[in-house]
Structure 1
Amino acid sequence: MSTAQPATQAGTGAPAGGGKVKLRHQRMNSQDRTTVVLMAAIPTVLVLGLVWFPAISSVILSFTDWNGIGPLSDINFIGFKNYVDIFTIYPPFWPALQHNLMWLISLFLIFTPLGMLLAVLVDREIRASRFYQTSFYLPVVLAGALIGFIWQLLFSRDQGLINAVLGTTIDWYGNPEVNIYAAMIANGWRHTGYIMLLYLAGLKGVDPAIHEAASIDGASQMQTFFRVTFPVMRPTNIIVMVITFIDALRAFDLVWIINQGRNGLELIATLVTANVIGEASRIGFGSALAALMLLLSSIFIIIQLRIMVKGDD
């Protein structure tokens, strides 16, 4: 005995006569709702507690002269005095700003292009490419203290490899005229591997058909990269630009290990640490320096977001 089936339009599976099929929205049970709430609440609490609360607290404390020792009731608001003092009567600030700028220029003009070059070479699947990829990326996973120790062996005045090769007795870390350049080289060693990995991921995402089309049109490998591949990797280029700027601004660990950011190695981050946890603790003044770092970082983050939004449009 056959069962009558509802009539449908041929080839569509829809009910005959153009009727609409009503879809039932399945409601989440209590367990699913709890899971969704926890997945949204836990990251939100972590971001608020570990990022926004310290950032806002630093901005508020930057308008005080609190030394971090007395009770919160002793906090005295002094307005913009800390900021005025930074630009007028705090001598280490301008050398530190200059050193951060030098750090940024070295990353942009030397080590970022070097990382991009290594990514292009490794992407060609040359022999032992995985070994080279691991070797170049290895400094990224090393702690700053270990990197400082490794380069101390190379830069040592009496037993260092560099002086032994050059036949000199330069105190690379102790001489204030050259130690900033030595520190930038050590930091660039780590930065190069990180940039290589980012560009390598970007190159893997480029459609091979684009390269084939450029080759058919008679473009050389260099022309293909700079006129076709490099523009296609626009999102990667933006990420690299922002990461490079932020790395240059927050440079701290390597310099602090060498000599705590003194004697020619002053950076803004080391000045913040020296004022917050130094012998003469000045939480308010150090917070003002940290607020300036936050402002500079925010400017480039906003620029990145505007560029990405315009690109999506």
Structure 2
Amino acid sequence: MRKNITPYLFLAIPFLMYCIWVIFPILQTFIVSFTKWDGMTQMKFIGIENFKRLINDKYFGLSLVNNIKWMIGFVILSIPLGLFFAILMDQKFAGHKIYKSLVYLPMALSFVVIGQIWSWILEPTGGIVNAFLNFIGLGNLAKPWLSDPKIVTYSLIAAALWRQIPYAMVLFLAGLKNVSSELVEAAVVDGANAFQRFFYVILPALKPAMVIAITVNIIDSLRAFDIVFVMTRGGPYYSSSVMANYMYVQAFHNYRMGYGASVAVVQFLITFSFILLYLINVLKKEER
């Protein structure tokens, strides 16, 4: 009996802490989303009114669209570029370890630090980007990157990709270690060129790493907050707002805790659906 109980005893404290810091706040958020509450006075139950209001809230719709843009940018750009750098850094050339460390360096920084760095880089007057464009004679391409509603979201995505691409690279580097050298050598013997070896031997072997990279990037894009908050606060006029940022503004700036919680619930359900799809995919593979 002691032998059977011991593993659960080791898991008891971590599981208790997980319930306190994760499960309970999630349940509490669901409860608050059905109320009208300013965080100080007594809660008033209003049913699904907050969710009805979300449907007609253009700023929430804009935040949702921006999150979709983040998702597309993270998947379409960070995955291929991460794979490219992984294959490049997997080669043995002079100084490859130094270059690998330099590419990986942004992963050592938080999004808050990265947001501050890129705020300096994208400054309209003293920023490196506009200064470089002026230096090479392309001053007409210089933009107010963080104050133009049409391009601000794309500027934020570009800044976030500086950290996200190395993350994808690390996942693919780990996946490349599982590629059978015998299969690659057999393909060479059969006369396959570099592109054929990549598409028919290496890429299929990277499928598990690809699934993980896509899933993680989608989840990261949906929970984007810190870099948006540091660089633009969601402005100008909510043009760069994402769901997490809009939730924060509604809950802690406008003191609409119930409405902010409803935004958080929608964000959680969307994120959880992708996590659930990933878990289903993993369980199917284990059954095989």
Residue segments in structure 2 that go unaligned for 5+ positions in a row: none
Match of 2:273 in 1: 299
Could you tell me which of 249, 253, 257 is aligned with 1:274? 249
1:103 equivalent to 2:76? Answer no
1:154 equivalent to 2:154? Answer no
Give runs of aligned pairs for residues 115-194 of structure 1, distance below 5 A: 115-167=82-134, 168=139, 169-194=142-167
1:78 equivalent to 2:46? Answer yes
Alignment check: 8 A CA contact 1:235 1:308 kept: no
CA distance in structure 1 between the partners assigned to 2:276 and 2:111 by the alignment: 29
Match of 1:6 in 2: none
SS at match of 1:92: helix
Aligned-residue offset at 1:28: 5.3
Give runs of aligned pairs for residues 221-260 of structure 1, distance below 5 A: 221-260=194-233
Match of 1:290 in 2: 264
**How many pairs align?**
279
The amino acid that maps onto 2:284 is K
CA distance in structure 1 between the partners assigned to 2:183 and 2:20 by the alignment: 46
The amino acid that maps onto 1:185 is A
The amino acid that maps onto 1:242 is T
CA distance in structure 2 between the partners assigned to 1:143 and 1:219 by the alignment: 42
Could you tell me which of 16, 41, 48 is aligned with 2:12? 41
Match of 1:8 in 2: none
Residue segments in structure 1 that go unaligned for 5+ positions in a row: 1-26
Match of 1:23 in 2: none
CA distance in structure 1 between the partners assigned to 2:153 and 2:233 by the alignment: 13
Aligned-residue offset at 1:67: 1.5
Aligned-residue offset at 1:210: 1.8
**Greater shift after overlay, 244-253 or 234-243?**
234-243
Alignment check: 8 A CA contact 1:63 1:80 kept: yes
Alignment check: 8 A CA contact 2:71 2:218 kept: yes
The superposition leaves residues 106-160 of structure 1 with CA deviations (integer Å, 9 ceiling, x where unpaired) of 1111122101100001111222111111111111121222212221222111111
Aligned-residue offset at 1:233: 2.2
Q: Which has the higher contact order (CA 8 A, sep 6+)?
A: 2
Aligned-residue offset at 1:86: 0.5
SS at match of 2:44: coil
CA distance in structure 2 between the partners assigned to 1:214 and 1:184 by the alignment: 39
The amino acid that maps onto 1:76 is K
SS at match of 2:145: coil
**What is the aligned-residue identity percentage?**
32
Alignment check: 8 A CA contact 2:175 2:209 kept: yes
The amino acid that maps onto 1:271 is Y
The amino acid that maps onto 2:213 is V
Match of 1:50 in 2: 21
Aligned-residue offset at 1:219: 1.6
CA distance in structure 1 between the partners assigned to 2:204 and 2:45 by the alignment: 50
Over aligned residue pairs, what C-alpha RMSD do you find? 1.7
SS at match of 1:131: helix
The amino acid that maps onto 2:143 is I
CA distance in structure 1 between the partners assigned to 2:282 and 2:204 by the alignment: 14
The amino acid that maps onto 2:61 is W
CA distance in structure 1 between the partners assigned to 2:17 and 2:207 by the alignment: 31
Deviation above 4 Å: which 4+ runs of structure 1?
Answer: none
- With normalisation by structure 2, the TM-score equals 0.92
SS at match of 1:185: helix
CA distance in structure 2 between the partners assigned to 1:273 and 1:289 by the alignment: 9
The amino acid that maps onto 1:261 is G
SS at match of 1:266: coil
Aligned-residue offset at 1:300: 0.8
CA distance in structure 1 between the partners assigned to 2:217 and 2:77 by the alignment: 12
CA distance in structure 2 between the partners assigned to 1:69 and 1:164 by the alignment: 49
